[in-house]
Amino acid sequence: MVLLGALAALGGRTGRWAALAGLVALLVGFACSEVLKGIVMEPRPFVSLPDVRLLVSPPSSYSFPSVNAAYAFAASSGASLAARGLLGRLPLWGWGFLALAVAVSYSRVYVGVHYPGDVLGGAILGTLSGWLIASIGVRFGRDRAP
């Protein structure tokens, strides 16, 4: 959220559109992953596997998909793809956003609250949300360009 705010404040017209696309994609990815989590109801690794060392407080929700991975990839891909659509190229900061999304996703497995498949599912769901919102946002952004 802080990075999207900085992008909106410092990125000019394209930055504002990209930040808005990232924020809306984050909300869509979050909502979709929460719905899917309630349908799949997969127990977390520390519940199912006896040797998992939990490094954080145990979450009470189900495991699949990783909501953190979904919103990280949704915000990253939404903002980056919107900027790419408006500028015709992927900005350098887009790669930084992607690296942060990967780091967030890896951390969820590392601390013992997700299986790798949970994170992959969240990343796919988030990327699809980001792509969808960026596609819509680019159409609106181009229509309002001077």
Total count of domains within the chain? 1
Query: Kindly report the CA angle at 67 between 63 and 68, in degrees rounded to 5?
Result: 115
Dihedral sign from CA coordinates of 78, 132, 67, 89 = negative
pTM (predicted TM-score): 0.87
Mean of the pLDDT values across residues 5-21?
A: 78
In a domain, 47, yes or no: yes
Convert the pLDDT of each residue in 57-108 to its tens digit: 888 888 899 999 999 999 999 989 888 887 788 888 889 999 999 999 999 9
Three state DSSP letters for the chain: CHHHHHHHHHCHHHHHHHHHHHHHHHHHHHHHHHHHHHHHCCCCHHHHCCCCCCCCCCCCCCCCCCHHHHHHHHHHHHHHHHHHHHHCCCCHHHHHHHHHHHHHHHHHHHCCCCCHHHHHHHHHHHHHHHHHHHHHHHHHHHHCCC
Convert the pLDDT of each residue in 14-46 to its tens digit: 778 888 889 899 999 999 999 999 999 998 888
CA–CA dist 145, 143 (Å, integer): 6
Given a contact cutoff of 8 angstroms between Cβ atoms, the answer to whether 112 and 55 are in contact is yes
In a domain, 22, yes or no: yes
In a domain, 56, yes or no: no
Name which residue leads in pLDDT, 2 or 73.
73
In a domain, 10, yes or no: yes
Q: Is the pLDDT of residue 13 over 50?
A: yes
Q: Where in the sequence is the domain holding 93, given as residue range(s)?
A: 2-51+61-143
Region of 22 please: left (phi>0), alpha (psi -120 to 50) or beta: alpha
